[in-house]
Each structure stands twice: as C-alpha cells, then as structure tokens.
Amino acid sequence: MKDLELAKQVYHGGQYTFVLVRAGQVAATGTRDGIGELLEVVARRGASLRGASLADKIVGKAVAMIAVYAGITEIYTPLVSEPAEQVLREFGIALAADRRVPLIRNKRNDGLCPMEQLTLPLTNPTAAVAALQEFVAAKRQRVPT
C-alpha cells in the first residue's frame, strides 16, 4: 500500500486530525485541533519526515507551509484552501482534496482562520514555520491551565 493510501486509511479509521506515514509505517498521528501538534511533531522528528505523506483534517496555507518545511511529498485532505493549493503546487507536493475553498474560516465562521491570516503574506516556509511557532507559543502563554 502506498504511503498516502495508508495515511488516508488510518485518518478515516480513527479520531485523528492528522496522520503522517513514511516508508509504509505510521510515523505520527494527531488528535488536537489546530496546528500546534503538527508543529510539535515536525520540530521533534525533523529530517526523518522527509518524503512522508500527510492526511490532515484541514489544509490551509499554514499546514501547506509546514509540509514544505518538513519535506512532505504528498497530502490528502477533506478541505483545502486555494492559497494552500497554490503553495503545494509551487513546491511540487501532490495533493488529493475532497473540497476546495477560497480561504479557511475560523471556528465561529465570522472571519479568517488566524493561521491562514498569519501565513497569507508569507512566501518562505522557514519564516512561516517560525511565525506559526511564535503564535502558538504566545497563545499557550495566554491560556490558563
């Protein structure tokens, strides 16, 4: 079974927000909403994710930039934004998506997703990942535990 097929199968078979597969093995899964967990996995696993396939709940430009940064080669998602699709095409990452939308909306559906908004003007994946990490870290500091 190809990596993307396995990632998609595991994603649909569980309560995952994302599934990463490399060389026929599930490399990582996520269960939390948002991109924080994906950022953590990419930071922890580094170069070992190069060539991996990703199945992700929602692929906006933020996830697309993380994928480029991590060296992911193919992605499946039920929902992709046009800016994400453009980034993936530009960097040669294969995409299979069930639905395309102009932009990813926030959870209240009254504006843009903050991650989409943050990354829209960014073109460098390394800079985008750094900005996303800063945003997530700042958000965690503001949220009482």
pLDDT, tens only, 12-66: 999 999 999 999 999 999 999 999 999 999 999 999 999 999 999 999 999 999 9
Residue 144 has what pLDDT? 59
Number of domains in the chain: 1
- Which pLDDT value is given to residue 141? 84
What pLDDT, on the 0 to 100 scale, is given for residue 143? Answer: 60
pTM of the model: 0.94
Within 13 Å, how many C-alpha atoms sit on residue 57's CB side? 15
Q: What is the CATH number of the domain that holds 79?
A: 3.40.140.30
Residue span of the structural domain in which 134 resides: 3-142
% of the chain at pLDDT higher than 70: 98
